[in-house]
Structure 1
Amino acid sequence: MADRLLIVEDNRDILASVVDYLEIKGFEVDAIENGQAARALIQAHPYDLVVLDIGLPGMDGFTLCKELRERDRNPLPVIMLTARDAVEDRLLGFEAGADDYLVKPFALPELHQRIKAVLKRSQRNFERVLRVGELSLDTASRQVHRSAQPIKLDRKGFALLELLMKQWPDVVSHEDLNHALWGDEPPDSAALKSHIYRLRQAVDGPFDSPMIRNVAGTGYTLVTDAQ
């Protein structure tokens, strides 16, 4: 069965070209030009992914994306599509809950590849409760436990641990960890190290055996007693 997409874009020329291209690529595609109308469609239909412009009539993309995330704790993927190239706007998009961010003008094959990548991550990461050794992470309630002991994490710490658990036992690269926190515009490397340090303090600090391991020159991974 083809993946079903919703394209929300108020530029009719862009909308038509995106819809035509993605239908040729085998997707089932609905299209709408208004944010409020898009919200109604999302509530009525089981979409697999939304491509969402920011500057929309009725309701802007930031507001709609944030509302979707607050309403549904296991939400459908969202790719922001916008003419705004400022770092601040990209950060606002990710803060609102976007999974990816594409700046106009863009090549249709690039949009296609990003859609495939986000869908793949979404389908692979559908499981609600992640477990690695003594660790458990509930993606819906956002609760984390190690050996039944609750662990409090801030938003970025939760995002880092979730990615490490989803990719376990693989090593997650510095690049992927940075992208999970800041998208395509990460700050200097010290910022990631600072968040990893705080995550280690929370996850490993109270216990005898550390689970977060640095792989020199590559990234980080989780280890268990069985490894």
Structure 2
Amino acid sequence: MKILVVEDNKKLAENIKKYLELEGFIVDLAYDGNEGLDLALSYNYDCIILDIILPGMSGIEICRFLRDEEKSQVPILMLTALGSVENRVEGLNVGADDYMPKPFDLRELVARVRALIRRNQVVRQETLKYGDLVMNLQTREVSCKGEPLNLSSKEFSLLELFMRNPGVVFSREQILDKLWESGFEPRSNIVDVYVLYLRKKLKPFGYDEKIETVHNIGYRLKKEDDKT
């Protein structure tokens, strides 16, 4: 499971990262609000730990943007040294799922993160749709124009990544990071190979061209209303 920690206190951020990694999580760090939002929009995280007071965008602004503009349902746990009821209410009102005032026990932080992830998995959307493409996340069945698609596990995961993020450009390194375990060299062409496999299976339905190569960067699934 992958966690984003947005915290401008570098020592605290690194302590959270180290503890979460000991608990088996993959952790990305951002030390200001702008970097945190960029990461939140670029990757699929299982949970975001978000400080309220940050350089650049505040945690409140980031949370509001993710909920209102992106319609993101990623669990968000807010941290702050501000302990007033007003601060807690403001964070929850803009869409945060939980709140921890500083200082806190890292064991409790991990327990709350796990609880948020479990809760989100229970209510998580079971079906993804993109035009005539339909993906059932529970049965792992995919169909296009009513016809079943026989996808391998990696092809399914790759298509899921694209369908969850239409219009988002993913570099080969980002796709490797999301879908493969560590050990693959960034120069490996494994991502290109699986994109080719997926396109071949989508071609009979005219959907192969929906997966667009972005020169010198990587790949994206075109937005449904993108005719180019």
TM range (shorter): 0.5 to 0.7
Q: Distance in 2 between matches of 1:68 and 1:128?
A: 21
Give 1:23 shift.
0.2
Give deviations 1:132-160, integer Å, cap 9, x for gaps.
Answer: xxxxxxxxxxxxxxxxxxxxxxxxxxxxx
What's the counterpart of residue 116 of structure 2? 118
Alpha-carbon distance change, 61 to 74 in structure 1, aligned in 2, over 3 angstroms: closer
Q: Do the aligned partners of 2:63 and 2:96 also contact (CA within 8 Å) in 1?
A: yes
Give 1:127 shift.
3.1
What's the counterpart of residue 71 of structure 1? 69
Look up the equivalent residue of 2:23 and give its one-letter code: K
Give deviations 1:133-192, integer Å, cap 9, x for gaps.
Answer: xxxxxxxxxxxxxxxxxxxxxxxxxxxxxxxxxxxxxxxxxxxxxxxxxxxxxxxxxxxx
| Pick aligned residue for 1:90 from 85, 88, 91 | 88
Look up the equivalent residue of 2:75 and give its one-letter code: P
Give 1:71 shift.
1.9
Q: Distance in 2 between matches of 1:93 and 1:68?
A: 13
Q: Helix, strand or coil: the match of 1:110? A: helix
1:1-227 aligned within 5 A: 3-127=1-125
What's the counterpart of residue 165 of structure 1? none
Q: Helix, strand or coil: the match of 1:6? A: strand
Give deviations 1:86-106, integer Å, cap 9, x for gaps.
Answer: 001000000110000000000
Aligned residues: 127
Give deviations 1:56-89, integer Å, cap 9, x for gaps.
Answer: 0010000110010012324211000111110010
CA RMSD of aligned residues (A): 1.3
Structure 1 gap ranges (5+): 130-227
Q: Helix, strand or coil: the match of 2:103? A: coil
Q: Helix, strand or coil: the match of 2:56? A: coil
Q: Distance in 1 between matches of 2:58 and 2:34?
A: 9
Q: Distance in 2 between matches of 1:74 and 1:126?
A: 11
Alpha-carbon distance change, 86 to 37 in structure 1, aligned in 2, over 3 angstroms: same
TM-score (norm 1): 0.54
Look up the equivalent residue of 1:12 and give its one-letter code: K
Q: Do the aligned partners of 2:66 and 2:72 also contact (CA within 8 Å) in 1?
A: no
Give 1:7 shift.
0.2
Q: Distance in 2 between matches of 1:58 and 1:72?
A: 19
Q: Distance in 1 between matches of 2:42 and 2:86?
A: 32
Q: Distance in 2 between matches of 1:23 and 1:74?
A: 24
Q: Distance in 2 between matches of 1:94 and 1:128?
A: 25
Give 1:48 shift.
1.1
Q: Distance in 2 between matches of 1:69 and 1:124?
A: 19
Q: Distance in 1 between matches of 2:120 and 2:43?
A: 18
Structure 2 gap ranges (5+): 128-228
Percent identity between matched residues is 40
Misfit runs of 4+, over 6 Å: none
